[in-house]
Structure 1
Amino acid sequence: MSPHSNPAPWQDAARPAAERAGEVLRLMTLEEKVAQLYGVWVGADGSGEGVAPHQHDLAEEPPDWQGVIAHGLGQLTRPFGTAPVDPAMGVQALANSQKEIAAANRFSIPAIAHEECLSGFAAWKATVYPTPLAWGASFDPDLVERMAAQIGSSMRRVGVHQGLAPVLDVSRDSRWGRTEETIGEDPYLVGTVATAYVRGLQSAGIVATLKHFAGYSASRAGRNLAPVSAGPREFADLLLPPFEMAVALGGAKSIMPSYTANDGVPATADPGLLTYLLREEWGFSGTVVSDYFAVTFLETLHGTAGSAADAAVAALDAGVDGIVTDNTEGLRQVLMRRGAWHDSTGGPVGDR
């Protein structure tokens, strides 16, 4: 576009963001909308040394890059954190990828790059900060907020947009293998410290992602991904308050559902949790992004979906907005086949 030509309506920075987004949505085809729903993990390690449950089972061969980005791309998964990457080379590689993504789709939309950042930006040569258990032990939310701002600043400088932290799971059983990621056993302490982390990270321009909504740490017998049998009183008094605090007081912009099932209902496919409670009661207006492979797990682990198509539709209908890493090509195909699925505007996703 010539610097002297008028910008397209969605590129006009003088217009409100919601108006610009609405204009893009109105013009997008079904396939272009679907492309914004999923992410790709180009660097996923299939050796078994992965960072996500069952990653060695589910990581695909490197995708056809030009095919993946042909209609746009929602998320880039861990461009810095999957393997050691020299920071200067990583910045250039990410910038090049974003240029290719923007050039390949009609609306010049780049992808959201996300990274892990709980105890620091999880990338080679980045600073490592104390574990969340130490945050809680400090009883110093102001210090945690300053720490998170530094973490966010380091991520922002290399082109990352979203951080998959903090963890707001209240510690319930020390046998649980992810207890080191928790802040403590007291819901108020967890909520206060985590809210400070959210404010700090987002002050640097990085979207904070609350994890894992909700009940993950109360899994049966302390096993990872095990069912959660907490009753409504325990759930409301102990497990939900930190998330509500971070939404109401911290302004958190993203939430990630838990892998676990609460009373038999997987969180990733629970409209009561993701729509009625989160959005309607709490007024959350950000995005809900699935955990790695969580949509596939609805079929393969939970057994609540009979196919990949059923799993994808169940998650989206429940309130999931983005599938950050999953069976990308399979997901794209099943969503295209289920083109009657409706978006948040009330019309079919494919309406022009």
Structure 2
Amino acid sequence: MPSSIKRSDIYHGGWIDHDKDGVMAPFEDPGKPIDDRVEDLLSRMTIEEKVAQLRSAMTDSLDVGNLSVVLRNTEPAESAVKANEIQRRFLEETRLGIPVIIHDECLHGCVAKHSTVFPQSIALAATWDVDLMYRVAKAIARETRVRGIRQCLSPVVNLSFDARAGRTEETYGEDPYLASQMAYAYVKALREEGIVATPKHYIMNFVGDGGRDSAEIHMSERFIRETELPVFKAAIKAGALSVMAAYNSIDGVPCSMNKYWLTEVLRWELGFEGFVVSDYGSVTGIINRHYITDNPEETAKLSLEAGLDVEFPGFSIYGEPLVRAIKKGLISEAALNEAVRRVLKSKFLIGLFDSPYVDPEETKVVDSE
């Protein structure tokens, strides 16, 4: 893993005394167990601060826990400087100083200026070379991390059974075993470099009738379990800290509010302990795509209680509607806490709290030999 810059190395002289009492809070103490740090921080947060961890923005707003594509169009070293300034603001200008996760796409190379572009996923899979996949993913992870991007909305682990599917090139093909091997290698490389991999789209997003993407899916559970589920299982085993819920529905239930697949299968059966994010706009899609309800507060309840932790992008649902639903008692604070706990734990696991900054000098690795 590239060297990281700790809180005390730039911008200020050590940990920030948010309580102004001269005492380091347990969650700020790197010597304490991660679970203890998470619980201490969670106990200090207001409902609004908790909800902020479950939403995202495409600008460096301070009332979110996740930022998307804000470093895409900058030079590598400039990106690192900008990422450090963003983290400084979150650490020093918010009440509790919780760092933000910045994400982007990294399917076959980080989607940012001057990053190395590798062959698309279908071409990498065609090599049948798992070691090559691992080395490519290592390079992608390093080029991503030095910019300050700490979450990749990759890999795509959906299988492609119909060549008419519009995103076939993003997949590893149709074979569950090959796709599992490639997904495992990719995710393992990212996790080793301190990047949150986000295998997607959970689940069966590309198998609509006629090759339609994000459509209603009416496959049998046996078919799902024998094809795509093992690929997600391999990615989770490799260390994925996030999973992206899909746009489609399974037997009429949208994946973004499908408790059976998001909780009973993903968490209870596969043992996934990270956080689930929505595909872009898939939470609002419960309203305007699937027509389940037209009530934002009910939508917040359906998705959060099903096991969807973070809304990408923005906060149309996981903003004021979620806050209102909790304060009205429509959603328990225990359910909110569970989602926030998963996000915070992942931030601790990748070292974001203790080493939030990156070294602009290390961006020399981008597009290097």
Q: Same fold (TM over 0.5)?
A: yes
**TM-score normalized by structure 1?**
0.86
The answer to whether structure 1 residue 23 and structure 2 residue 40 are counterparts is yes
The answer to whether structure 1 residue 335 and structure 2 residue 307 are counterparts is no
Give the C-alpha shift of residue 291 in structure 1.
Answer: 1.0
The answer to whether structure 1 residue 217 and structure 2 residue 206 are counterparts is yes
Partner of 1:58: none
Aligned alpha-carbon RMSD (Å): 2.1
Aligned residues: 320
Partner of 2:92: 103
The answer to whether structure 1 residue 304 and structure 2 residue 289 are counterparts is no
Query: Could you tell me how far apart the structure 2 residues matched to 1:324 and 1:280 are?
Result: 24
- Structure 2, unaligned stretches of length 5 or more? 1-11, 16-21, 341-369
Query: Could you tell me how far apart the structure 2 residues matched to 1:331 and 1:37 are?
Result: 7
Secondary structure of the residue aligned to 2:113 is coil
Give the C-alpha shift of residue 347 in structure 1.
Answer: 7.1
Query: Could you tell me how far apart the structure 2 residues matched to 1:337 and 1:104 are?
Result: 25
8 A contact 2:305–2:335 mirrored in 1: no
Mapping 1:283-322, distance limit 5 Å: 283-322=271-310
8 A contact 1:309–1:331 mirrored in 2: no
Deviations 1:288-346 (CA, angstroms, capped at 9, x unpaired): 111111101010001112222222221111101111313x2664111111123224578
Secondary structure of the residue aligned to 1:129 is coil
Partner of 1:261: 249
Could you say if the C-alpha distance between residues 14 and 348 of structure 1 is closer, same or farther in structure 2, counting changes exceeding 3 Å?
closer
**What amino acid does structure 2 have at the position aligned with 1:257?**
A
8 A contact 2:27–2:41 mirrored in 1: yes
Deviations 1:105-153 (CA, angstroms, capped at 9, x unpaired): 2111121001100010011110001111112111111110111011101
Match of 1:177 among 147, 166, 169: 166
8 A contact 1:342–1:348 mirrored in 2: no
Secondary structure of the residue aligned to 1:76 is strand
Partner of 2:354: none
Query: Could you tell me how far apart the structure 1 residues matched to 2:125 and 2:115 are?
Result: 23
Secondary structure of the residue aligned to 1:216 is coil
**What amino acid does structure 1 have at the position aligned with 2:69?**
R
Partner of 1:39: 56
The answer to whether structure 1 residue 13 and structure 2 residue 30 are counterparts is yes
My pick for the range that moved more, 104-113 or 114-123, is 104-113
Deviations 1:258-292 (CA, angstroms, capped at 9, x unpaired): 11011111111000001000111111111111111
Could you say if the C-alpha distance between residues 300 and 144 of structure 1 is closer, same or farther in structure 2, counting changes exceeding 3 Å?
same
Partner of 1:193: 182
Partner of 2:148: 159
My pick for the range that moved more, 87-96 or 237-246, is 87-96
**What amino acid does structure 2 have at the position aligned with 1:79?**
V
Give the C-alpha shift of residue 349 in structure 1.
Answer: 9.6
Partner of 1:237: 226
My pick for the range that moved more, 223-232 or 163-172, is 223-232
**What amino acid does structure 2 have at the position aligned with 1:333?**
E
Query: Could you tell me how far apart the structure 2 residues matched to 1:145 and 1:342 are?
Result: 42
Query: Could you tell me how far apart the structure 2 residues matched to 1:108 and 1:349 are?
Result: 19
Partner of 2:343: none
Partner of 2:120: 131
The answer to whether structure 1 residue 324 and structure 2 residue 312 are counterparts is yes
Secondary structure of the residue aligned to 2:302 is helix
8 A contact 2:154–2:198 mirrored in 1: yes
Partner of 1:45: none
Partner of 1:279: 267
Partner of 2:67: 76
**What amino acid does structure 1 have at the position aligned with 2:45?**
M
8 A contact 1:308–1:331 mirrored in 2: no
**What amino acid does structure 1 have at the position aligned with 2:157?**
L
Could you say if the C-alpha distance between residues 282 and 343 of structure 1 is closer, same or farther in structure 2, counting changes exceeding 3 Å?
farther
Could you say if the C-alpha distance between residues 2 and 208 of structure 1 is closer, same or farther in structure 2, counting changes exceeding 3 Å?
closer
My pick for the range that moved more, 224-233 or 135-144, is 224-233
Query: Could you tell me how far apart the structure 1 residues matched to 2:14 and 2:58 are?
Result: 35
Higher relative contact order (CA 8 A, sep 6+): 2
Partner of 2:19: none
Could you say if the C-alpha distance between residues 264 and 102 of structure 1 is closer, same or farther in structure 2, counting changes exceeding 3 Å?
same
Secondary structure of the residue aligned to 1:211 is coil
Partner of 1:207: 196
Secondary structure of the residue aligned to 2:172 is coil
Partner of 1:50: none
Query: Could you tell me how far apart the structure 2 residues matched to 1:227 and 1:346 are?
Result: 29
8 A contact 1:30–1:349 mirrored in 2: no
- Structure 1, unaligned stretches of length 5 or more? 43-64
8 A contact 1:80–1:123 mirrored in 2: yes
Query: Could you tell me how far apart the structure 1 residues matched to 2:128 and 2:121 are?
Result: 11
Partner of 2:80: 91
8 A contact 1:73–1:110 mirrored in 2: no
Secondary structure of the residue aligned to 1:151 is helix
Identity of aligned residues (%): 36
